[in-house]
């Protein structure tokens, strides 16, 4: 299951095997929280991927959805076509497209995991961690725990 390195041996589990996923929407406070994460703990998980899934009607460019990062992590922005963040009033002949779920965002979270799995087809990913923008992750012991979990899984 691990990526094979030189000589056919399994590479040691590292941050490159982890993708962190966020379901986001167009909101100034959310943008600030994501930037705070990029300025702090994103720097500690060099090599990881970060997947951001926003609403299909989010009018911002991908570069505005993504926080500024120093290159330590790779940020991917995707849009949930069936998710709507803005209030919509159906007009004659133009129905509202997408589901507006607000803070529940069930559809968006399902889309987030689909996008993270698709990323795993391109890159060697073993762990998919969903994070909320207001969560402060302390990665100090997380990689050690993930290595332990991967080792336990291989022994089964």
From first to last of its 156 residues, the chain has per-residue pLDDT tens of: 344 444 434 568 999 999 999 999 999 999 999 999 999 999 999 999 999 999 988 999 999 999 999 889 999 999 998 888 777 766 777 766 666 665 557 888 999 999 999 999 998 899 999 999 999 888 989 999 999 988 866 665
Which pairing describes strands 49-55 and 74-80: parallel, antiparallel, or unpaired? parallel
List Cβ neighbours of 57 (8 Å cut-off, separation of 6 or more).
84, 85, 86, 98
Q: For the chain, which residues make up each domain, given as ranges?
A: 16-155
């Amino acid at each position: 299951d691990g990526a094979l390195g030189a000589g056919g041996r399994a590479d040691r589990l590292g941050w490159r095997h982890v993708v962190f996923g966020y379901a986001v929407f167009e909101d100034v406070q959310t943008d600030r929280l994501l930037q705070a994460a990029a300025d702090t703990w994103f720097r500690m998980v060099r090599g990881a991927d970060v997947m951001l899934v926003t609403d299909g009607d989010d009018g911002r460019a991908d570069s505005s959805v993504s926080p500024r990062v120093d290159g330590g992590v790779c940020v991917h922005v995707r849009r949930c076509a069936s998710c709507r963040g803005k209030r919509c009033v159906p007009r004659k002949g133009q129905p509202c497209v997408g589901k507006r779920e607000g803070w529940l965002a069930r559809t968006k979270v399902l889309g987030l995991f689909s996008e993270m799995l698709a990323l795993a087809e391109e890159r060697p990913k073993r762990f998919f961690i969903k994070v909320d923008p207001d969560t402060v992750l302390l990665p100090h012991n997380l990689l050690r725990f993930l290595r332990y979990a991967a080792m336990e899984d291989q022994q089964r």
